[in-house]
Amino acid sequence: MSKVIEERPSALTLLTQEEEMFRASIRQFGKQRLAPLTKEMDEAGLFRRELIDEFFQLGWMSIEIPDEFGGAGEGFFHSIIAVEELSAADPSAAVIVDVQNTLVNNALLRWGTEAQKKKYLPMLATNTVGAYALSEAGSGSDAFALVTTATEQDDHFILRGRKLWITNAYEAGLFIVFANANPQAGYRGITAFLVERNTPGFQVGRKEDKLGIRASSTCELLLDDCRVPKENVLGKAGEGYKVAMETLNEGRIGIGAQMIGLARGALDHTIRYTKERKQFDKPIAEFQAVQFQLAEAATELEAARLMVYNAARLKSAGQPFMKEAAMAKYYSSCVAERVASLAVDLYGGYGFTRDYPVEKFYRDAKIGKIYEGTSNMQLQTIAKAILK
C-alpha cells in the first residue's frame, strides 16, 4: 500500500522551471494583450479572431498535440496552467483554449485513427478551432438521452437532430458530434463523429445571449440529413458513451483551472482596491473585518488550486483521477462564486457597475456550477466513488 501512495504525485509538487516560465509568459499576455480588450469583447459578445490566431501562433491551441502533427508537444498540466492564467484576465479566452485542448484534441489523440490524426491534428494545431457537441434540449445532466440519430447509408452516416449549448461553435471548423446510431440499444448506440463545418446538411445556428463568459460563443447546431463518411467515426460505432465519459473527466479538470484562475483574478483586483479605497481616513484593507474576509478567500482559493493541480498530476501520471476531477470541479466552482461575490461586496457600489472588472468575474463564475456536469452531478460522482 505504501508503494502505491509513494508513486502518486503530490498536489504540493512545485512547478518545474519550464512550467513556471510557461505560466509567466501567459500571465504577461493576459495582462498586456488580453485584459485591455476584455470589456469590449464582453459587451459585444464576440471574441476577436486575431487573438485566436495569436493563440495558435503561440502553440496554446495545440499544447498536447505531438510535434509530428505541428503541435507544441507538451503535457496535460501545461493545458491546465494555460487555462488558469488566461482565466485570471478573461475566462472567455480560457474557454476557447480549454475546449480545444482538454476535449477536442484529447479525444482525437486517444480515439482517432492514424488517418484521422494525420488529417485533423495539423488543422487543429494551426488554424482550426474545435467544438464538442454533446448537449441537446432534452439531455442536460442526462447527457445520453440523445435524440440526434445517425442512420447508416452505404459508405456514410446520415445525421439528423439539433444540438444546444455548443461552446466554440461560432468559430469552429471541426466538431465532435455525438449521435445515436442504434436507438434501440440506448446509450450503447451512441457514436462520436468528426464533422467538418462545410459538411452538407450541417449548420451552425443562433448564438446564445448569455449572462457570463459572453465573448465565448455558445450556439445551436442543426443537422438536417448531414452526410458524414464512415471513416469519420471517432472510435468505434457504439463507443460514443465511453469517448464522452473519458474525455469529460479530463475536461472537468480544465473547468476547475478556469474557476481558480477566475477567482484569483477577482481576488487580485479586490486586494489592490482595498489598499486604495479609503473610509474613515484609512484604507479599508486596514480594517480587520476586511482582512479576515480576504484571508478566508485566499485560503479557499489555495485549497481549490491544490485540488485542481492534484487531479491534473494524477491524470498526467496515468493514475485514476475521476473522483479527484469531480472534487476539483465542484469545489473550485463554489470557491470562484464566493470569491467573485466577495469582490463585488468589497468594491461596494462601484462593484455593482460595469466600470470595474469584478462584476464581470461575478457573472462569469456562475457557469462553473453548470457546464461539463452540474455541481449535483459532481457530488453524485464523488458519492459513488467513496461508497463503492
pLDDT in tens, 163-198: 999 999 999 999 999 999 999 999 999 999 999 999
Over the chain, what is the mean pLDDT? 95
Mean pLDDT for the stretch of residues 54-70: 98
pTM to 2 decimal places: 0.94
Mean pLDDT for the stretch of residues 47-71: 98
Where are the chain's structural domains? 2-129, 131-239, 242-387
pLDDT in tens, 5-22: 344 544 445 788 999 999
Q: Which CATH class is domain 131-239?
A: mainly beta
Rounded distance between C-alpha atoms, residue 282 and residue 262, angstroms: 29
Rounded distance between C-alpha atoms, residue 43 and residue 23, angstroms: 28
* 324 part of the active site: no
242-387 CATH pick, 3.40.50.11540, 1.20.120.530, 1.20.140.10, 1.10.3720.10: 1.20.140.10
The predicted structure's pLDDT at residue 145:
86
pLDDT in tens, 195-231: 999 999 999 999 999 999 999 999 999 999 999 999 9
Active-site residue, selected from the candidate residues 74, 250, 324, 372 = 372
The predicted structure's pLDDT at residue 13:
52
Phi, psi of 345 (to 5 degrees): -60, -50
The predicted structure's pLDDT at residue 1:
37
**Which amino acid does the sequence have at 131?**
A
User: Would you say residue 128 has pLDDT above 60?
Assistant: yes
The predicted structure's pLDDT at residue 190:
96
The residue count for the chain: 388
Residue 244 near residue 143 (C-beta atoms within 8 A): yes
CA within 13 Å, CB half, 250: 29
Share of the chain above pLDDT 90, in %: 93
* Residues 41, 52, 34, 135, CA torsion sign: positive
Q: Which CATH superfamily is domain 2-129 in?
A: Acyl-CoA dehydrogenase/oxidase, N-terminal domain (1.10.540.10)
Count of helix runs (H) and strand runs (E) in the chain: 13, 10
pLDDT in tens, 256-299: 999 999 999 999 999 999 999 999 999 999 999 999 999 999 99
